[in-house]
Amino acid sequence: MNRLLLKLTAVMLIFAGIASSCNPELEREYPKDISFTEYSLDGTSCQWINLNYNDELIIINSDEELQNYISCSNDTYSEINRHTLLLASGNTPNGIIEINKHLLQISANKYQLEFEILLDETEMEGLWITALVVSKLSKESDIELITILKH
For residue 15, being part of any structural domain is answered with no
The structure's pTM equals 0.80
Where b means 16+ CB within 10 Å and e means fewer, 109-129 reads eebbbebebebeeeeeebebb
The tens digit of pLDDT for each residue in 30-64 reads 999 999 999 999 989 999 999 999 999 999 999 99
Structural domains counted in the chain:
1
From CA 1, how far away is CA 5, in angstroms rounded? Answer: 6
Domain that holds residue 72: 29-150
For residue 145, being part of any structural domain is answered with yes
Least trusted range by pLDDT, from 19-23, 42-46, 76-80, 122-126: 19-23
